[in-house]
Amino acid sequence: MKPDAQYVWKILKSVNKYVKSMHVVTFLNGPD
């Protein structure tokens, strides 16, 4: 069964947003 393309795209976008927000948090906290 092939997943719906729009559903997959929505997941990819939310994951991308999450990763970007994590990068922002890491940047604001500075390097360890």
pLDDT digits (tens, 9 = 90+) for 8-21: 999 999 999 988 88
Rounded to whole angstroms, the Cα distance separating 8 from 26 reads: 27
pLDDT of residue 17: 92
Which residue would you say has higher pLDDT here, 27 or 15?
Answer: 15
Note if the pTM is more than 0.75.
no
Instruction: Give the model's confidence band at 32: pLDDT under 50 very low, under 70 low, under 90 confident, else very high.
Output: low
pLDDT over 70 percentage in the chain:
88
Cα end-to-end distance, the chain, whole Å: 44
